[in-house]
Homo-oligomer: A and B are copies of this chain.
């Protein structure tokens, strides 16, 4: 099993002006080809620091893959640092020079500027990696003990094809890897990370292959199974029994796997049951509808919605009673119920969901603080409401309320018998 480290080069990365997406892309491609990534790094456009990073990485790993710092300007220094790290000089690569001249005359339509010439210099003994999408060629250079430094441009549209078409085939041949990482992700909702740990934590400790990891994001947790095997058939065989065990232990909280999202699962469930859905949103301001309509084919089950931001809209378009608004306020069980019932009737949907709350930062009171949100769910059997208190700023309250609303829909759809007739 070979292992590599990845180094991204560029001062803009250290200033946080650019999010490094190259590293994740390279790491993913390596994992899929059975090559372990030991660590990743970002360094600035500084020759000594790049060289020191490369030297340290080569001590730990079989090779290093870099992106960035191959351009024609004075602060592009990856190649110089590679030469320093390997103790070799740079020599003109005639094929690279020809490619660049041709690219300039055919694609750019003018003579190649003199300062581009330096891009055709490669570390002595290196293999050239052609760049059909830009001027800077990449290379694979070698240390005396047979380790390698492979360097690619930082522009993703040049780096990605070079990786896929040039570097990965070379790595596959060199390391003859017959090992692949296959993953299965189980998405949960309504369970805290610590409770997940109580239910399946023992499996973490005993399981080496597949490995298990828990990823928390946006108030929800994913359980990830990663199998390292020689074939996808073997991977399936490794993952399946463990997945079964986890599914049993987490019964009731797994809403989907791999590419599923809460909204895609809700819509699929509605579709299977021949049901339709409408929404009435106040504090989430359209986010629940936007999440649902992100899914291709949403129109099969999602009828539409009202963003009832102003109270007048709640009254006129959802039939909320003025007296109830006055007596209980817009953020109340009563108004949430009337919004859901009104949306269900007026849109002629099987199910309707409502959200009304205090998103903040203004509008909170001691009785109804920022983050208080009421949800309503109307269906043929009537309407139910539910209250939650979210913590965080406006953005987080809106996000969490949207996720919670989708979770309520999921639970409702899951429990429902197929073929409940819509109203109308």
Contacts and interface: CB of A to CB of B under 8 A. Distances in A.
A348 B20 CA distance: 44
A329 B403 CA distance: 34
Given A23-B20, A205-B74, A303-B313, A290 B286 contact: yes
A416 interface: no
B12 A16 contact: no
A362 to B, nearest CB: 7
Contacts of A302: 309-310
A391 B107 contact: yes
A421 interface: no
20 contacts: A11-B211, A14-B36, A15-B37, A17-B28, A17-B215, A20-B23, A39-B42, A39-B53, A74-B204, A113-B195, A133-B396, A155-B216, A285-B294, A285-B298, A286-B289, A289-B290, A289-B307, A290-B290, A304-B309, A306-B317
Interface of A: 11-21, 23-31, 36-45, 49, 53, 56, 71-75, 107-108, 112-113, 115-116, 132-133, 135, 155, 157, 181, 183, 192-198, 201, 204-205, 211, 213-218, 224, 226, 279, 281, 283-290, 292-294, 296-299, 302-310, 312-313, 316-317, 346-348, 359-362, 389, 391-392, 394-396, 398
Given A73-B197, A296-B394, A304-B310, 18 more contacts: A15-B27, A15-B183, A15-B226, A16-B37, A17-B224, A72-B197, A73-B194, A74-B204, A107-B389, A113-B194, A113-B195, A113-B197, A279-B307, A285-B298, A293-B307, A296-B362, A304-B309, A304-B313
